[in-house]
Amino acid sequence: MSSELESLRALTTVVADTGDFEAMRAYRPTDATTNPSLILKAVQQDAYRPLLEQVLRDHPGAALAEQVDRLLVAFGREILAIVPGRVSTEVDARLSFDTQASIERARQIIGLYERAGIERERVLIKLASTWEGIQAARVLQAEGIHCNLTLLFSLPQALACAQAKVTLISPFVGRIYDWFKKSAGADWDEAAHAGPDDPGVRSVERIYTYYKAYDIPTQVMGASFRNIGQIRALAGCDLLTISPELLGRLAASTAPLTARLSIESAKAEAPAWQASNEVAFRTELNQDAMATEKLAEGIRAFTADAIKLDALVTRSRDGG
């Protein structure tokens, strides 16, 4: 009998949300995603320390930002030797409100990959779904640099990404769930908000339905899962990026799995068309307390880990 993970593969492109090479070998995802927090966690492990040491040996005089980017690319190259598809590499979160700096950093990352013999088609540049990040992605996409817009919590963000013609978006299921659960406090009813009724699942389903109803080619990749029920409820989504822990639980389960999302059902319940521009984006995002708070919180958290990664590289470089 097939595992639930194998059943999911037949419905959705499975992506590993980790910097752990062994987990990727074990669960055989098509793609892999990384972020500053995952790379920081990985590089502190003995198994991955040689990647940092090699970067510092090969580029001792490089600026800190370049050394960090080279480290990210070193991880990406190792990942691409394991997965058949793409890897997502993130632009420094401290640039989330600086369009031009984000563009320049993304070009640098892609250049490092290409000089290492990796085609740009196998790399997704991750940018935060701020207005500035989305406009950076618009420029990069026009140059043939594929982008993955992350920290996405609302339809207005998704609409702006579609207009920018980004390759892929990563709406965060678990962090939406976290916000609503915390907001409800003692009144939270877990059973009433499980599976298809999970607020994070409903947000991703709304975006998926809108995209498919209007033939928007940008791919939807559900991310940031807290439990198996959220994954099951999004079976049929274009892609799902899943942590090793939850991949393991899916691999150990033989429960039946069927698609909940489909292009046909999306077209059958097409929502009203919505205009998207900077004023609408900023106004509607501001009106959504959850999306506003989680976007800001996510940028702060990734920034904190980027600073920690800088410090780790500096200590290693200086012999600390």
43 with 51: CB under 8 angstroms? yes
Q: What is the 3-state secondary structure (H, E, C) of 62-131?
A: CCHHHHHHHHHHHHHHHHHCCCCCCEEEECCHHHCCCHHHHHHHHHHHHHHHHHCCCCHHHEEEEEECCH
The residue type at 260: R
**How far is it, in rounded angstroms, from Cα 156 to Cα 281?**
6
**How far is it, in rounded angstroms, from Cα 75 to Cα 85?**
15
**How far is it, in rounded angstroms, from Cα 139 to Cα 124?**
14
Residue 267 annotated in active site: no
128 with 161: CB under 8 angstroms? no
**How far is it, in rounded angstroms, from Cα 207 to Cα 133?**
19
Cross-strand bridge partners of residue 65:
none
Burial class of residue 320, CB neighbours in 10 A (0-12, 13-18, 19+): exposed
5 with 13: CB under 8 angstroms? no
36 with 305: CB under 8 angstroms? yes
Q: Active-site positions? A: 126
